[in-house]
A and B are shown apart, each in its own frame.
Chain A
Amino acid sequence: MRYGLLVQGAPYSSQASHSALRFATALIARGHQLECVFFYHDGVYNASRLAAPPQDEPHLVDAWRGLNAGHGTQLQVCIAAALRRGLLDERESARHGKTGHSIEPPFELTGLGQLVDLGNQVDRLVTFAP
């Protein structure tokens, strides 16, 4: 089956990201396809390239990157939710006259329209929220 995930919880603040990652791993182990993880609401913080968790906790941002590297899962971040929370890629950072950026590939800033498309493409869209 083709799956998409919608993640709306901030990493380490709630269980949502941890559960979504476990679900993602289980899906792939069962031979399903995970097309895309879409980050919305506080879920956009999962995309922060500057996350530096202590070593005895799972590195959630790296785990998302691993899904992309190992399985080709797209990692899409709602641009409106991200920008107002200070999560900008290089292009948006320059456009807003900021120094530095907090999002980098494989995470990509996209619009909510992509979430609608995803919902229409996949067999199941599963939400993980706090």
Chain B
Amino acid sequence: MGCWTCAVGCKAINDEPLGYWWNRILTTEPNGSAQVATSASPAIDVPHGVFPNLELAYLPVACQHCNNAPCQKVCPVGATFRREDGVILIDYERCIGCRYCLAACPYGVRIFNWGPGERVPDFIIGYGEDYRTEGRLVFEPVRPMGVMEKCTLCVERIDVGEEPFCVAVCPVGARVFGDLNDPQSEVSTLINEEGASQLLAQLGTDPNIYYLPVRHPDKVSE
């Protein structure tokens, strides 16, 4: 519904400075048919179509955690890695900041730490601790200058059995998190029953993020 709660939640749990949005809510047409805005103005909430035949849907976009991730393939030092469970993470201690992954990502979800970042509020908020997985530093409370970052799927939360923060804060349960390998899980059932799609599936990146179809596109017409 385009309320941006998940985006603001992401910003809070990860203490993202101003100008950082690891998670964004794009304005599009129902069922992801548009990849380039054709609305009257390139701004959020502006519907596609001509009055009174309008279409509007929201596409939340963060890292797609691809099985065949171009960012991981192009990283010259293997800082971007894919954990066994499919989460794509960045090793903050190894990244050299060449931004090749930023050029390689078709989804535009990677955010580089260009400067020290202007944080509001200026004290630490969110998860607030270093987090390591497989011995590699994948989260720091303050965004480290000079390295690449993106959605971590809240590894620090999912590793202790919690949902990613964006899923937890969604006021309408539009986001579902679970195990795709388990055919009985809620995510697998939803994907099978409703016919979910992947973003830019034609590129063969095979994302682990699936989008359920908009079930009742409200067609307004007089």
The answer on A and B forming one complex is no
**Taking beta carbons and an 8 Å cutoff, which residues of B are in contact with A?**
none
**Taking beta carbons and an 8 Å cutoff, which residues of A are in contact with B?**
none
